[in-house]
Structure 1
Amino acid sequence: MAKLDNVLYGHLWRPFASLMVIVLLLPLFVKSSYILTVLILIGIYSLISIGLSLLLGYAGQISLGHAAFFGIGAYVSGVLTAKYAGSPWIAMVIGIVFTWLVSYVIGMAILRLKGHFLALATMAINIIFFILILGLDEFTGGASGLVGIPSLSLFQLNLGNPLYFYFFVWFIVFVIILFSMNIIRSNIGRLLRSIHDSEIATETLGVNVAKYKVIIFSLSAVYASLAGSLYAHFISFIAPPSFYITFSILLLVMVMVGGVHSIWGAVLGTAIIMFLNEWIRYIGQTYFHISGQVEIVVYGLIIILVMMFMPKGLVDILERLWKKIKSVQIKGAEKRKMTTEKGA
Structure 2
Amino acid sequence: MLAALVVLAPLALPNNYAYEVAIQIAINAVVCVGLNLLIGYAGQISLGHAGFFALGGYASAILATRYGVPVWLSLPGACIAVGALAHVLGRPTLRLKGHPLAMATLGLGVIISIALTTEDKWTGGPDGMPVPPLVLFGLAVQGEQAWYWIAGGLLVGTVWLALNLIDSPNGRALRALHGSEVAAQTLGIDCTRFKLQVFTLSAMLAALAGALTAHYAGFITPAKATFLHSVELVIMVVFGGMASVFGAVVGAAVMTLLPQLLTVLKDYEMMVFGAVLVATMVLFPQGLVPTVARWWNGRPQ
TM-score bracket for the superposition, by shorter chain length: over 0.9
Which blocks of at least 5 consecutive residues in structure 1 are unaligned?
Answer: 1-16, 326-344
Deviation for aligned residue 1:257: 0.8
Equivalent residue for 1:98, pick from 81, 96, 118:
81
Say if 1:196 and 1:304 are closer, same or farther in 2 by CA, change over 3 A. Answer: farther
Q: For residue 264 of structure 1, what is the aligned residue in structure 2? A: 246
Give the match for residue 204 of structure 1: 186
Structure of larger gyration radius: 1
Out of 251, 271, 284, the residue aligned to residue 310 of structure 1 is 284
Distance in 2 (alpha carbons) for counterparts of 1:278 and 1:146? 26
2:261 matches 1:279: yes
- Show CA shifts across 1:177-223 (max 9, x none): 11111110011111101010000111122221111101100010010
Once superposed, what is the RMSD of the aligned Cα atoms? 2.0
Instruction: Give the number of equivalent residue pairs.
Output: 299
Aligned match of 1:9: none
Tell me if structure 1 keeps the 8 A contact 2:6–2:152: yes
Q: Deviations over 1:62-120 (max 9, x none)?
A: 10100011011000011122333321111112111111111011110111111111111
Aligned to 2:223: 241
> 102, 111, 122: which is aligned to 1:128?
111
TM-score normalized by the length of structure 1? 0.82
Report the counterpart of residue 322 of structure 1 in structure 2: 296
Find the aligned partners of 1:261 and 1:118 in 2 and give their Cα distance.
19
1:140 equivalent among 120, 123, 127: 123
Partner of 1:59: 42
Q: 1:243, CA displacement in angstroms?
A: 1.7
Distance 1:302 1:108 in 2: 38
SS in 1 for 2:205: helix
Residue 46 of structure 1 corresponds to which residue in structure 2? Answer: 29
Deviations 1:123-148 (A, max 9, x none): 1111000100011101101011112x
Aligned to 2:148: 166
Among all aligned residue pairs of Structure 1 and Structure 2, give the percentage whose two residues are the same amino acid: 36
The equivalent position to 2:157 in structure 1, one of 167, 175, 179, is 175
Distance 1:106 1:311 in 2: 33
Distance 1:107 1:205 in 2: 23
Query: In 2, Cα distance between the equivalents of 1:229 and 1:172?
Result: 12
Q: Are the counterparts in 2 of residues 69 and 224 from structure 1 also a CA contact under 8 Å?
A: yes
Cα distance change on mapping 1:132 and 1:300 into 2, 3 Å: farther
Amino acid across the alignment from 2:288: L
The alignment's TM-score, normalised by the length of structure 2, stands at 0.93
Q: 1:307 to 1:36 in 2, by over 3 A?
A: same
Pick from 203, 206, 216: which aligns with 1:224? 206
**Residues 20, 304 of structure 1: CA spacing in aligned structure 2 closer, same or farther, 3 A cutoff?**
same
* Runs of 4+, deviation exceeding 3 Å: 297-309
Render the CA deviation track for 1:134-163: whole Å, top value 9, x for unaligned: 11101101011112x122232345422210
Contiguous gaps of at least 5 residues in structure 2: none
Q: Which amino acid aligns with 2:223?
A: P
How many Å separate the matches in 2 of 1:283 and 1:264?
29
